[in-house]
Amino acid sequence: MKQRQGYPEGERELKRFLIGLIRSHEHTSDKAKDPKLKSHYYRLSKDRAWEEVGNILKKMKGYKVLHEVQNVGEIVVEKKSMSGRTMDITIQVVGTGPITTAVDIYSASRGSLGDLGANYRNIQELYAVFDKKLSAYKL
Protein backbone atom coordinates (compact mmCIF):
# COMPACT_ATOMS: atom_id res chain seq x y z
CA MET A 1 0.00 0.00 0.00
CA LYS A 2 1.11 3.55 -0.70
CA GLN A 3 1.87 5.61 2.38
CA ARG A 4 1.14 9.32 2.72
CA GLN A 5 1.56 11.25 5.93
CA GLY A 6 1.43 8.06 7.96
CA TYR A 7 -1.92 6.79 6.63
CA PRO A 8 -2.22 3.85 4.25
CA GLU A 9 -4.30 4.85 1.20
CA GLY A 10 -7.27 2.67 2.22
CA GLU A 11 -7.43 4.31 5.64
CA ARG A 12 -7.31 7.75 4.02
CA GLU A 13 -10.34 6.89 1.86
CA LEU A 14 -12.23 5.51 4.86
CA LYS A 15 -11.42 8.68 6.81
CA ARG A 16 -12.75 10.82 3.91
CA PHE A 17 -15.94 8.74 3.80
CA LEU A 18 -16.49 9.07 7.56
CA ILE A 19 -15.86 12.83 7.46
CA GLY A 20 -18.36 12.96 4.59
CA LEU A 21 -21.09 11.50 6.81
CA ILE A 22 -21.36 14.82 8.60
CA ARG A 23 -19.66 17.39 6.36
CA SER A 24 -21.22 18.52 3.09
CA HIS A 25 -18.44 20.75 1.74
CA GLU A 26 -14.73 20.70 0.96
CA HIS A 27 -12.20 23.30 -0.19
CA THR A 28 -8.60 23.73 -1.20
CA SER A 29 -5.97 26.16 0.08
CA ASP A 30 -2.23 26.57 0.54
CA LYS A 31 -2.65 25.65 4.21
CA ALA A 32 -4.61 22.40 3.68
CA LYS A 33 -3.32 19.50 5.79
CA ASP A 34 -4.32 16.96 3.13
CA PRO A 35 -1.82 17.25 0.25
CA LYS A 36 -4.64 16.48 -2.22
CA LEU A 37 -6.39 19.67 -1.09
CA LYS A 38 -3.46 22.03 -1.67
CA SER A 39 -3.86 24.87 -4.18
CA HIS A 40 -2.59 24.12 -7.68
CA TYR A 41 -0.29 26.58 -9.45
CA TYR A 42 0.25 27.18 -13.15
CA ARG A 43 2.80 29.23 -15.08
CA LEU A 44 0.14 31.34 -16.81
CA SER A 45 -1.07 34.91 -16.44
CA LYS A 46 -4.36 35.26 -14.57
CA ASP A 47 -6.22 36.19 -17.78
CA ARG A 48 -4.83 33.24 -19.72
CA ALA A 49 -5.51 30.82 -16.84
CA TRP A 50 -9.06 32.21 -16.56
CA GLU A 51 -9.64 31.55 -20.24
CA GLU A 52 -8.16 28.03 -20.14
CA VAL A 53 -10.01 26.94 -16.98
CA GLY A 54 -13.28 28.39 -18.29
CA ASN A 55 -12.94 26.53 -21.59
CA ILE A 56 -12.13 23.27 -19.81
CA LEU A 57 -15.18 23.58 -17.54
CA LYS A 58 -17.53 24.34 -20.44
CA LYS A 59 -16.45 21.10 -22.16
CA MET A 60 -16.64 18.82 -19.10
CA LYS A 61 -19.55 16.40 -19.00
CA GLY A 62 -21.71 16.62 -15.90
CA TYR A 63 -20.71 20.18 -15.06
CA LYS A 64 -22.85 23.21 -15.91
CA VAL A 65 -21.32 26.70 -15.77
CA LEU A 66 -23.77 28.96 -13.92
CA HIS A 67 -21.87 32.17 -13.35
CA GLU A 68 -18.55 33.80 -14.27
CA VAL A 69 -17.01 36.94 -12.77
CA GLN A 70 -13.67 37.51 -14.49
CA ASN A 71 -12.53 40.57 -12.51
CA VAL A 72 -12.90 38.55 -9.28
CA GLY A 73 -11.61 35.34 -10.88
CA GLU A 74 -14.61 33.20 -9.96
CA ILE A 75 -16.46 30.56 -11.94
CA VAL A 76 -19.47 28.85 -10.37
CA VAL A 77 -20.54 25.47 -11.74
CA GLU A 78 -23.19 22.96 -10.78
CA LYS A 79 -22.94 19.19 -10.76
CA LYS A 80 -25.61 16.60 -10.02
CA SER A 81 -24.55 13.50 -8.13
CA MET A 82 -25.69 10.02 -9.14
CA SER A 83 -28.17 10.16 -6.26
CA GLY A 84 -29.67 13.36 -7.69
CA ARG A 85 -28.14 15.73 -5.18
CA THR A 86 -26.89 19.08 -6.48
CA MET A 87 -23.40 20.33 -5.72
CA ASP A 88 -22.31 23.93 -6.18
CA ILE A 89 -18.63 24.33 -7.04
CA THR A 90 -16.70 27.59 -7.09
CA ILE A 91 -13.39 27.69 -8.91
CA GLN A 92 -11.22 30.66 -8.06
CA VAL A 93 -8.42 31.75 -10.39
CA VAL A 94 -5.99 34.05 -8.55
CA GLY A 95 -2.96 35.75 -10.07
CA THR A 96 0.00 35.30 -7.71
CA GLY A 97 2.53 37.01 -9.96
CA PRO A 98 2.88 38.33 -13.51
CA ILE A 99 3.01 34.82 -14.96
CA THR A 100 1.83 32.56 -12.14
CA THR A 101 -1.72 31.73 -11.11
CA ALA A 102 -3.27 29.66 -8.33
CA VAL A 103 -6.50 27.69 -8.78
CA ASP A 104 -8.59 26.90 -5.71
CA ILE A 105 -11.87 25.01 -5.51
CA TYR A 106 -14.78 25.08 -3.05
CA SER A 107 -17.40 22.36 -3.46
CA ALA A 108 -20.60 22.14 -1.39
CA SER A 109 -23.67 19.91 -1.52
CA ARG A 110 -27.12 21.38 -1.18
CA GLY A 111 -29.03 20.00 1.79
CA SER A 112 -28.16 19.30 5.38
CA LEU A 113 -26.81 15.75 5.25
CA GLY A 114 -23.19 14.83 4.63
CA ASP A 115 -21.87 14.15 1.13
CA LEU A 116 -20.06 10.82 1.73
CA GLY A 117 -16.90 12.38 0.30
CA ALA A 118 -18.47 13.49 -3.02
CA ASN A 119 -17.14 17.05 -2.74
CA TYR A 120 -13.63 15.76 -2.05
CA ARG A 121 -13.90 13.57 -5.16
CA ASN A 122 -15.17 16.54 -7.23
CA ILE A 123 -12.06 18.51 -6.31
CA GLN A 124 -9.79 15.58 -7.21
CA GLU A 125 -11.57 15.13 -10.55
CA LEU A 126 -11.35 18.82 -11.45
CA TYR A 127 -7.68 19.09 -10.48
CA ALA A 128 -6.86 15.94 -12.47
CA VAL A 129 -8.48 17.43 -15.59
CA PHE A 130 -6.87 20.86 -15.09
CA ASP A 131 -3.44 19.29 -14.50
CA LYS A 132 -3.76 17.10 -17.59
CA LYS A 133 -4.96 19.88 -19.91
CA LEU A 134 -2.51 22.43 -18.48
CA SER A 135 0.39 20.01 -17.92
CA ALA A 136 2.83 22.23 -19.84
CA TYR A 137 2.16 25.03 -17.34
CA LYS A 138 1.96 23.08 -14.05
CA LEU A 139 4.29 24.28 -11.30
pLDDT one-digit tens code per residue, 10-64: 666 666 566 656 678 899 999 998 899 999 999 999 999 999 999 999 999 999 9
Quote the mean pLDDT of the chain: 87
Domains and CATH numbers, the chain: 3-137 (3.30.310.220)
Could you tell me if 93 and 73 are in contact, meaning their C-beta atoms sit under 8 angstroms apart? yes
The three-state DSSP-derived secondary structure of 21-87 is HHCCEEECECCCCCHHHECEEECCCHHHHHHHHHHHHHHCCCEEEEEEECCCCEEEEEEECCCCCEE
Q: At what angle do helices 9-22 and 118-133 cross, to 10 degrees?
A: 120
- Give pLDDT tens digits for 86-124: 999 999 999 999 999 999 999 999 877 777 788 999 999
